[in-house]
Structures are given as C-alpha cells and as structure tokens.
Amino acid sequence: MRVFLIYPKRDPESLVRTQFSMERVHELAFWPLRGKSYGLQFNGLESLSALTPKWVDLTVINENLRDIDMDANVDLVAITVMVTNATRAYQIADHFRKRGVKVVMGGYHPFMIPHNSLAHADAICTTEAEYVWGQILTDCRDGKLQQIYRQTEKTDMIKAQHIPRVKRWEWLHQVSLTLQSSRGCPFSCEFCSIVQMLGHDMRYKTPAHLTEELEVYFKHDILGRVFYRPIFFVDDNIFGHPRTVKEMLRAIIKLKKKYPHYRAVFGSQMTINVYKDKEALALLEEAGFYNIFMGFESQDRETLKAFNKLHNIAHNYDEAVATLRAHGMEAISSFIFGTDGDTEACFDAAYDFFDRNNVLYPYFNILTPTSDQWKRFLAEGRILTVKAKLYDAHHTVFVPMKMTPRQLQEGFIKLVSKTFDYKNIAKRMRGVYLDSGRRQARLSLPLPLEKAFYHKLHFTLGMQNDREGQSFMEELKPHVWSGMVPMASVLLQIDQHDWAVRNRFTMAEHRYNLDVPAWKDRPHEETAIAGEGLASDIAAQVR
C-alpha cells in the first residue's frame, strides 16, 4: 500500500513567512545551488514515519521542502494539520478525494474542530497517534476505514520510541533536526491549547530510548561532522519535571563523549524557573544547549495574571536572560501583543527589553485566541475572521480591548521592523559578543573558516544586490576577524531581517476592516453576541 504523509505549507500564495522558517539561511549558505529549505524539521512527520510498518510504501512530504505530486498513484494521504495550515490542508485533501484517494487528518486542528475537518477527510485522528496509526493503515488496506480514531489513553512515553529514518540529504535542507523527549505541561496558560490534548501530567521517554534516537543523528548526519548540527527538542515544556530532565541531560553528555567528532548543539522550550536551578544550568551547558525558547509573554503583572501565567511573576526577566547567557545560552524571548491590558505602549516596552538586554532572538506574536478564549471573544462579538491561515500569530483576527485592530497590526509591524533593523541588530550583537564577557560562542569555527565564510556570504549578498546586508556585514567585519562574532550568528540575523521585511506584507492580507474602534470604546448596544453564520458553527465544534 502506497501512502503519502504530508505536512502542508501555511499558504503557498503568501509572501509572508514564519519567523523561524529560516529560508534565507540555506538560500545564502548554499548559493549558487538552489533548493528548498526549512528551519525546524517537523517532528510529527518523523514520529509517524518511525511507527509505520515495513509493508507500507511511505513517502514523507514536508511541503515547505518538496512539492506534492498531486497526480500520484497512492492509496492513502495522511495530513498533519495545524490551525495555520488548515486551509492548505483542505485544498490538498479535497483534490485527492476527488480522485478517489482516501484521506485521513490528524493533529491539533482535527482535535480542536473535528467536524469541520471531517468535511474534508474520510477519517480523522483526534488524539495522539501511537496506538492507532497502525490500525488506520490496516483499516485502509482492508477497506474498513473508520471516521474517527482516538486513543482511549495517553501514550506511555516510558515505552515510546521513535527511531528516525536516515535521510542524510534531506537533513541538509533543515537548519535544525528535532526530537521529542516528553509530552504534557503542568501549567494552564489561557492562550495555550497544548494541555487540552496532551494533559498536565509530564510524560518522559527513558534516557536510554531518547539517546538511541539521538544516536541515529550522531551516526548518520553530515552537517554535525563538518560544522555544527542544531537539534531542537520540541517538548512544550521540557523542564516540567526537573529531576527527570537532569537524568536525560546526563545521558546526552555521556553520548556526546562517545562521538567526540560530532558537534551537536541543542535547544528547547523551558519555563523561566530553569534559570534559578544551578545544577540544571551546568548540565545544560555541558550537554551543549545554545538556545532556550522562553515564553515571557508580557512584562505586565496583571496581564500575566489574566493569562494564568503566574509562574512568570516571581522572576526577573533581565536576570534570566543574563544567567542563561553566562552559561552559553541565548533566550529566544517570546512576547504576545494584543492582550486586554495592552495599549500601544506595549511595543515600546518590548523594544526597551530587547535593547537593554541585547536579546539576539526576540520572538513576536500577535495574540491568537484559541479554545475557550476564542469562544469568549466570539460571544462578545470580537472575532474578525475565521480564516484559519490568518491564525498564525502574525495577523490581527480580533478586536483588541484598548487598541484598534489597525493600531495592533501596525504597531506589531513597526516593532518587528525596528528590532530587526540592521543597525539595531549590530548593536545587540556587539553587546552580546563584545561587552557581556560571554564565553566563546557555540557556533564558532576556526578563524580561517570564519573568514572564508564571511567572504562567501558577502559575495553572495552582492550577487543578489543586497547592499544593505553587505553594509551590515562590513560593520561587524572587525569583530568577525578578531574571532569574537561567529558568522553563523551573522547569517541567522540576516535571516531574521528578511523575516521582518516580509512581515510587512501581513497588512495587505487582512481582507476585512481593521479601522473599527477598540473594544472598550464600543457603545454598549454594539456588543451583541455573535450567534449566526460560519463562526457560530465552528464555535459549536471547538473544544
């Protein structure tokens, strides 16, 4: 039986890209060679691929990396669907179903809105898939495909293992490979839908199983032998159970000693309390972690309380960034804009935080209401659109409380543009690599190779008529030449500048009126409850 396993693009026609899709990294590094590339390897595809029996002829397609043969002779198309790529997923599904090919959908979107997904698929999976994926394949082969598949219990991660399939060439087209060591999160942030599907209880793989998966990369990946290989743990909160994480880190350290010529560097998502744990910081540093995604969300205490993100309130953000940096790690500092407490002043406050802490990797989100929050906004009449592809944290899809939708969108665009203006990037890089007393950068190469890469990248930008990018490099050249600023970081910042430029196109993608009053300024009689049409139909389905 021939099966396509697909992760769709967000919107093939859009000029906007996601912040860490990192298309520009490979475009510049491998020029003049051409080919598609993407930032993070999509772990959901890799996990299902690892669970697929050998009697299945499986083709794994991340549409960001390769095109889909829409006329292929296949028996089943399985699509992993997030909210942001649901529109494209429906297009793919409808095309194959018209040809008589069976389609099954899984992921967060079918979990959140099952009936809407069933309108475009023969079957959906509304839970984790470890215990039902084999049954889905068998049922399809035998002509007995059911409409809905769901596990009756959470996956036992102690027994779970997802050995990656070796794909040396494809791995070269991805900036970061991925693994997952745990599922679940002990917290209940209002804007997050993770715990609804995966629960509050932390479930970890054993260190032995995890390092067996990791060893596949150590043995077969090319990039880690000639440069460095970023590997990102896609856990929603890997630090949910500190003692277990420390056992995992010790196992990784032991594995790295077994492969001294493979240069792996790691990242993951963690809650802010990790910076207070000296033992954890020492182990993270020794294991080779170089960035930590940290959801700061807001600097306003009342907003954090409204988010139910109480664990952030007791901690000092500036101290967290500095402490991680002292241990060789940068904080990917994530903020959300458009909360009910936010005014236009939130953008200046965020920029000030990035600037005074020389944050190399700011991460930007417009509030994207989900689940109960989305239902509440709908009932209040604040939802502006139900187009799934715009629910990507880059577009304004609701009426803010203290800003107009246009003020939120324009303020977001201006903040992103200002933060990733080359002059401001260069200032922050000097602050990190020259002024902070930071130890040697994780991604630095021997100086002759750093200089060679500088010349190659500078020449490539010239061939692409990117004089602004060349000027940015020339400003940093003395520090690259002295071995203080690594070229990998320069390349990543050029990529982030590209994202900021393309983010400006978000304004034109709003096909609805953004010039409506802030919610607090609406006359009372206008705040009618929305109860008709597509939005209310979807609301009836949303978990």
Domain segments of the chain: what residues? Answer: 2-12+40-149
Work out the mean pLDDT of the chain and round it to a whole number: 93
pLDDT at residue 529, as a whole number: 42
Whether 241 and 204 have beta carbons less than 8 Å apart is answered as yes
Side chain identity at 70, as an amino acid letter? M
Closest C-alpha to 244, from 186, 177, 310:
186
- Predicted structure pTM score: 0.94
Distance CA 239, CA 202 (A): 9
Q: Which residue has the tokens 């809650």?
A: 271
Q: Quick one: CA dihedral 423, 429, 434, 436, positive or negative?
A: positive
My answer on whether omega of the bond before 12 falls inside 30° of 0, hence cis, is no
pLDDT tens digits along 255-314: 999 999 999 999 999 999 999 999 999 999 999 999 999 999 999 999 999 888 888 998
Please give the share of the chain, as a percent, with pLDDT higher than 90. Answer: 83
Q: Helix or strand or coil: residue 435?
A: helix
Whether 502 has a pLDDT exceeding 90, the answer reads: yes
E strand segments, 140-201: 148-149, 174-179, 182-183
For residue 455, how many other CB atoms are within 10 A of its CB?
Answer: 10
pLDDT at site 343: 96
pLDDT recorded at residue 534? 52
Euclidean distance between CA atoms 65 and 48, whole angstroms? 18
Which SS3 state, helix, strand or coil, does residue 391 take? coil
Helix (H, G, I), strand (E, B) or coil at 34: coil
Residues 31 and 197: their CA atoms lie apart, in Å, by 42
For residues 154-164, average pLDDT: 96
Give the pLDDT mean for 499-507: 96
Q: What is the pLDDT of residue 531?
A: 44
| CATH number of the structural domain 2-12+40-149 | 3.40.50.2300
Bridge-based pairing state of the strands 229-233 and 203-204: unpaired
Query: How does DSSP assign 409-423, residue by residue?
Result: HHHHHHHHHHHTSHH
**Where is 488: in which H helix or E strand?**
helix 487-503
